[in-house]
Amino acid sequence: MLEKIKLAVERINELGAGKPIKVVSHFDTDGITSAAIFSRALKRAGKQFSLEIVKGLDKEFIKGLSEENVLVFLDLASGSLEYLKDKKTEVFVFDHHELSEEWKDKIPENVFMVNPVLEDCEVVSGAAICYLFAKKMSLENKDLANLAVLGMVGDLYERNIGKIFGEILRDAETIVKKGVLVYPSTRPLDKALEYSSNPYIPGISGSRAGVIELLRDADLASDKGRYKALYELSEEEMKKLITAIALRSRGGNQENLVGNLFLVKFFNKLEDARELSALINACSRMDYSEVALGFCLGNKIFRKEAEKIYINYRQSLVSALKYISETNKLEGKNYMIINARDKIKDTIIGTVASMISHSPLYEEGLVIVALAYNKDKIKVSARLAGRKGRNLRELLHRVVVPIGGEVGGHPNAAGCLISKEKEEEFIGELRKVLDLEVVKV
């Protein structure tokens, strides 16, 4: 992949001399950090460019892109080759998403693709690819490594530290520490535990008394009321804490509880990469991707703004959960359909569905399907409570095929976009399939 990146730098250097560059990136944390790294590198190299952040790509959008520009796609577009092939300009794709089989060995001539899934190397996030590109352009860009760490964490690549990720962590001077994955690990433990919803720890999350008892059991005392932060714990203390939590989450998903903590320097302060990643994600999902971008680029005004939006975001998650607990749900044997219409934003409906699926209130195997309006479309998110149950991707696929729409995701978390006109029909069909499945079991 490094060879490809070197070539990409050379080509963009040549092309960018005469033609302006249009950069299009994805709106999640990985996409935003990709955009921040890439645009900073272009700026430092004196290139003329413009930038746009999008939720996704479709035929119309790609059609509308001017061919006067060199087109660069970050953290997306691997699935859009059939539309990109018709663009009469040079196209660069820096992405890590899978390509469909038919395009794997026939990348269109006008497209230069850098994608680790096509190479013999570890798969890394979009921001990591952009960082390698930026570093190849100039070593001056090494200061952007912390953004690549956020992108890696945002896309959940933080489990395996391979060669490339290892290099990025070193460049960013990240402190890596094994521990409980409650964030921010820079906040006093009692607070971090009490406000943790991801992971949700039964009896601890949201319970002050539960937290204090847990810390007592783990032999962790406060110093005049102030508890240490997670990252300050010694190995011995961390072990005791892990044991105490594990005893409380019987049957729970423990492998998601312990892992690597990443501490990066940001605005000259040591920060938890998970927390920053969550903040960037929150801004984008609340429709402020430009604030998220400004934050990544170190702008102090945007930083203040971003922190406000992050608080709002968490509040809207809480109100969404409250709305769901009070509203009528379509419930059947082993499933629950929540039609939030315009009461919950389409960009957070998936997160909300995930949170419910982690709640101890629901039985393992319960299928949760949540719907929210997105202009003339409906965003559908399906999640499975617990780990075992039906294949949601297949299930949604079966319902959506006759109606029209495309299903993405995995067996235990899938989603799709359908037309608003099909609301009733979709729900009706969905119930039929869900009821039928139970009969078969």
Closest separation in Å from C-beta 141 to Mn ion: 19
Euclidean distance between CA atoms 115 and 125, whole angstroms: 10
Query: Per CB under 5 A, does 158 bind Mn ion?
Result: no
Size of interface with Mn ion, in residues (CB under 5 A): 5
Pick the piece of the chain touching Mn ion (CB under 5 A) from 42-50, 118-126, 348-356, 375-383: 118-126
According to CB under 5 A, which one of 126, 179, 389, 415 is a site residue for Mn ion?
A: 126
> What CA–CA distance (Å, rounded) separates 54 from 35?
11
Report residue 297 as tokens. 């680029």
Is 30 among the residues that bind Mn ion (CB under 5 A)?
A: yes
CB within 8 Å of 229: residues ≥ 6 apart = 184, 185, 186, 187, 188, 189, 192
Closer CB to Mn ion, 76 or 107, in the complex: 76
**Which lies closer to Mn ion via its Cβ, residue 125 or residue 185?**
125
Specify the residue, 118 or 369, whose C-beta has the smaller distance to Mn ion.
118
Determine the 3-state secondary structure of 383 from DSSP: strand
Q: How far apart are CA 114 and CA 126, in angstroms?
A: 10
Indicate the residue among 284 and 316 with the shorter CB distance to Mn ion: 284
In the chain, the largest separation of any two C-alpha atoms, in whole Å, equals 67
Residues with Cβ < 8 Å from 163, sequence gap 6 or more? Answer: 121, 122
CB of 155 to Mn ion, least distance (A): 4
- C-beta of 155 vs 272, nearer to Mn ion: 155
190's enclosing H/E stretch is: helix 189-194
From 30-38, 65-73, 131-139, 365-373, span contacting Mn ion (CB under 5 A): 30-38
Min dist CB 124 to Mn ion, Å, is: 9
Select the residue whose beta carbon is closest to Mn ion and give its number.
30
Site string for Mn ion, 78-117 (x = CB under 5 A): ----------------------------------------
- Asked whether the beta carbons of 357 and 383 are under 8 A apart, the reply is yes
Nearer to Mn ion, 27 or 373 (CB): 27
From the centroid of its chain, how far is CA 216?
A: 34
Minimum distance from residue 362 beta carbon to Mn ion (Å): 29
Inter-axis angle of helices 235-248 and 208-217, nearest 10: 130
Indicate the SS3 state at residue 305: helix
CB 182 within 8 A of CB 230: yes
190 binds Mn ion (CB under 5 A): no
Tell the smallest beta-carbon distance from residue 357 to Mn ion (Å).
22
Nearer to Mn ion, 30 or 90 (CB): 30
Minimum gap (Å) between residue 289 Cβ and Mn ion: 14
Shortest Cβ 165–Mn ion spacing (Å): 14
d(CA 347, CA 411): 21
Contact 364, 334 (CB under 8 A): no
- Binding Mn ion (rule: CB under 5 A), the pick from 75, 194, 272, 305 is 75
Residue 155 interacts with Mn ion (CB under 5 A)? yes
Select the span of 140-148, 149-157, 291-299, 405-413 touching Mn ion (CB under 5 A).
149-157
Sign of CA dihedral 308, 310, 316, 322: negative
Sites for Mn ion among residues 311-340 (CB under 5 A): none
| Least distance in angstroms from the C-beta of 73 to Mn ion | 12
233 burial level (CB within 10 Å; 0-12, 13-18, 19+): buried
The residues binding Mn ion (CB under 5 A) are 30, 75, 125-126, 155
